[in-house]
Every structure is written in structure tokens, then in C-alpha cells.
């Protein structure tokens, strides 16, 4: 499963998999407990493949940060998102040394780490670009 199908829904904890589109929104399934819910198009929804983190030079896609965490942890779970502010900042600076401290908040770091741990626990560990995107860029 690619990050193109994984969603974060504002006001709802955890991550969701896009299952189907409806006239008024879509159906998503929780990665935590498998429950399905209908989501209106009026909800604030973010697709993980479209999220990036600010650095001083560019915006780094979330999939790249997940890859770096995966390499640092040898494919295992990372630290808890409930660690202290100092520990989270230290960990994040190891993963993304040039992140912009003025634009990336501890709450953002918590989300990234929590999301990585959710995906890792569900066995979703392929953070490479989807094949069709790579073949379009070659043309």
C-alpha cells in the first residue's frame, strides 16, 4: 500500500486508508482498529504523500523522512511520540538535521513519529515513489 492511499483526518486520531469515493466524500478505514467511516468533503483531510517538512533549503517529502527514520531504526519502531520536547527535537534533528526550527513545531514532530510507528506496526514500510510516478518523470 502506498502513501497515496493513507490519510490523516483532522479531528480524528491516527491514520486511515482510503477505501472508496462517494458522491459527498469518501469511505476511510482506520489503520488502528479497522473501523470504516464516511468522511465528508468538508473535512480537512491530508494525504501523506502530499505532506512535506520545511528545511532551510527545501521542503522534504514525508516519504523521505519516513525512509530516514527507517534507516536510523533498521526498520524497527522509532521512539515514542510521547517523549519529552528535548528528546523529540534531538531525535528529529538526527533524522532531518536542517529542519527549520521556526516552522516545524514539536507537534509536527510528534505526528511524523507517531505516523511512522503506525505504518511500521501495520507493515507499511515501502516509502519509495510509486512506480507510475517514476515512469512519467523518465519520459
Question: Over the stretch 71-96, which tens digit does the pLDDT of each residue have?
Answer: 999 999 999 999 999 999 999 999 99
Listed in order, the ranges of the chain carrying CATH 2.30.30.730 are 3-48
The grid coordinates of residue 33 equal: 482498529
Residues 112 and 115: their CA atoms lie apart, in Å, by 5
* CATH architecture assignment, domain 3-48: Roll (2.30)
Residues 124 and 66: their CA atoms lie apart, in Å, by 11
> Would you say residue 18 has pLDDT above 90?
yes
pTM of the model: 0.88
The 3-state DSSP class for residue 40 equals strand
- Give the pLDDT confidence score for residue 16 in this predicted structure: 97
- Give the pLDDT confidence score for residue 128 in this predicted structure: 83
CATH, domain range 51-121: 1.10.10.1650
Task: Report the candidate in 81, 52, 66, 78 with the shortest Cα–Cα distance to residue 2.
Answer: 66
> Would you say residue 138 has pLDDT above 70?
no
- Give the pLDDT confidence score for residue 131 in this predicted structure: 65
Listed in order, the ranges of the chain carrying CATH 1.10.10.1650 are 51-121
Amino acid at each position: 500500500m502506498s502513501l497515496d492511499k493513507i490519510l490523516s483526518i483532522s479531528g480524528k486520531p491516527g491514520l486511515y486508508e482510503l477505501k472508496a469515493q462517494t458522491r459527498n466524500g469518501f469511505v476511510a478505514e482506520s489503520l488502528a482498529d479497522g473501523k470504516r467511516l464516511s468522511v465528508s468533503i468538508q473535512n480537512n483531510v491530508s494525504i501523506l504523500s502530499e505532506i512535506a517538512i520545511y528545511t532551510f533549503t527545501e521542503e522534504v517529502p514525508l516519504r523521505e523522512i519516513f525512509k530516514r527514520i527507517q534507516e536510523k531504526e533498521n526498520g524497527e519502531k522509532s521512539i515514542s511520540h510521547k517523549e519529552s520536547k528535548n528528546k523529540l527535537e534531538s531525535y528529529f534533528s538526527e533524522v532531518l538535521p536542517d529542519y527549520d526550527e521556526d516552522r516545524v513545531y514539536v507537534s509536527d514532530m510528534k505526528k511524523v513519529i507517531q505516523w511512522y510507528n503506525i505504518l511500521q506496526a501495520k507493515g507499511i514500510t515501502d516509502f519509495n515513489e510509486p512506480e507510475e510516478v517514476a515512469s512519467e518523470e523518465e519520459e
